Structure 1
């Protein structure tokens, strides 16, 4: 693991609704080399950071269980840490849908901290409403509704494991519009105007990781000008975002089924940005969901879906 350069220590404030995976995230960050402290009162954090100089990045878990917790206090702390020389604070928000939170509470049979004497569904609703502003301003938002603990670890490793050197990370993700936009994207681009391999019977079972599908999409006269403009836009914006202090920037590319066109564009963009020296990671949401990340991607595919 790369050491954090002196004078640029990261402090990650980890929050989110109870049951969304905050404790798991704290444990993962500790495994990644962070000094981790969970359930620390907000008022103690500035005093903690006033002590001896940090020798490694720090992850601090804060939520409604803290005796002095308030969303405004959390936002004020996040802002104030950003004014301290040598600190690089980030707000990490672990989210999940109300139905998923309810299912997790029903499985564990734990009382909700905001409804100890009432139904846990009431506590979930109160907490989500309370945290709404923190969610809106989070630097990194991870929705754990459909993530296993292993998949959450992978997400956290993507955001934190290789970025202790303060290089800005670029995340590219393909997705299906039918399943909605992924959480946490900075920029989104629609690829549905490109020629659709779905309508070719021999290409329909494949994915954009297959050379035949890529060739079909790349043959569309609009493909090259579209990707050229995307690369130019990214290369224009990335240095400015890095100068502004962003640690990460995420791009989403969507099509109907998230298997063909969006995957092809995502892979093409990934290669282009990597060739220009940017630290790039790539995800294909629909392929991961169906275990189709291998080249070709025939297994278990529902041929009625469209890419």
Structure 2
């Protein structure tokens, strides 16, 4: 059984993280009291559930002092435990609480509640396998990042390939950014103007030029040459941003094709399209 523990600060995105885990087939439980952990683990093992995700946070109230001990217990009882800790800048968290019109679970003052929560959560943060700062992440980008972590094989580099449009701003979380505006633009072909890069006709048009496949081969060769060096330096995940003018035609078609080629090369790959919202 693979056990995923999602934890972190209130307002940092744990609900979205749980949805990402559900999308990948995890059986998800939100806010299970630590005292129930042993019985819960026994039940899911008897049911032979291979993927289980738990959300643990400050809402456990009186049970919270048991959380760190509970995770140590889980480490002993389950062979594969991954802890992901979500956080964000205090001013971002305050704004999120205001938008939702919700009080902080620890204090009537949101700022004081966040400060106290950070103090109490520090042992879990120190135990985390992955720490994700969601301050500048949309819900969509958070789900892409989490899925990348969950699918990557231990010791191998996980890769996200995400299309975007430069007119809507650069992809901030990208480690590598490439510009597809050297390719012919389907926007100026009347029958393709309204068909995005997921459409076979648009894709065929974009890859009608040999330069498009040359670019795919270049990236695959780059990863084969340098991918292991990223891992050796402690980087478990790489985000490749593929941009064009609007993030609708060329970058989308290239992202899909590049994802296929990288999977064929043996990498765990997540493909996403920021400005299509998929």
Which runs of structure 2 are paired with 1:159-178 in the superposition (5 Å)? 159-160=149-150, 162-163=151-152, 167-178=156-167
User: Secondary structure of the equivalent of 1:234?
Assistant: helix
Q: For the Cα contact (< 8 Å) 1:169–1:248, is it kept in 2?
A: yes
> Residue 250 of structure 2 is aligned with which of 261, 266, 271?
261
Change (3 A) 1:112 1:167: same
Matched position secondary structure for 2:204:
helix
Between the aligned partners of 2:113 and 2:180, the Cα distance in structure 1 is 37
1:198 to 183, 187, 191: 187
Q: Provide Cα deviations, 1:14-34, integer angstroms capped at 9, x if missing partner.
A: 445x42323664795882525
The answer to whether structure 1 residue 286 and structure 2 residue 275 are counterparts is yes
Q: CA deviation at 1:282?
A: 0.7
Q: Taking structure 1 as reference, are residues 111 and 54 closer, same or farther at Cα in structure 2, changes over 3 Å only?
A: closer
SS in 2 for 1:228: helix
| Distance of 1:94 and 1:13 partners within structure 2 | 11
Selected match of 2:146 from 148, 156, 160: 156
2:102 aligns with: 109
- Whole-angstrom CA distance in 2 between matches of 1:38 and 1:237: 38
Taking structure 1 as reference, are residues 124 and 192 closer, same or farther at Cα in structure 2, changes over 3 Å only?
A: farther
**Are residue 147 (structure 1) and residue 139 (structure 2) matched?**
yes
- How many residue pairs align between the two structures? 235
Q: Which runs of 5+ in 1 are unaligned?
A: 5-9, 60-90, 128-133, 294-307
Q: How does 1:292-307 map onto structure 2 within 5 Å?
A: none
Asked if 1:33 corresponds to 2:52, the answer is yes
Provide the TM-score with structure 1 as the length reference.
0.58
Please report the RMSD computed on the Cα atoms of aligned residues, expressed in angstroms.
4.3
The superposition leaves residues 12-64 of structure 1 with CA deviations (integer Å, 9 ceiling, x where unpaired) of: 78445x423236647958825256543467xx57x9489847533142xxxxx
* TM-score normalised by the chain length of structure 2: 0.63
Instruction: Tell whether the 8 Å contact from 2:4 to 2:54 is kept in structure 1 after alignment.
Output: no
Q: Deviations over 1:108-156 (max 9, x none)?
A: 331486x844xx5x679999xxxxxx9xxx76454686438xx966763
In 2, distance between residues paired with 1:188 and 1:124? Answer: 38
- Tell me which of 186, 203, 217 is aligned to 1:214: 203
Kindly report structure 1 stretches of 4+ aligned residues shifted beyond 6 Å.
Answer: 10-13, 122-127
Consecutive unaligned residues in structure 2, runs of 5 or more: 29-50, 59-63, 117-124
Distance 1:207 1:259 in 2: 5
Say whether residues 1:188 and 2:177 are aligned partners: yes
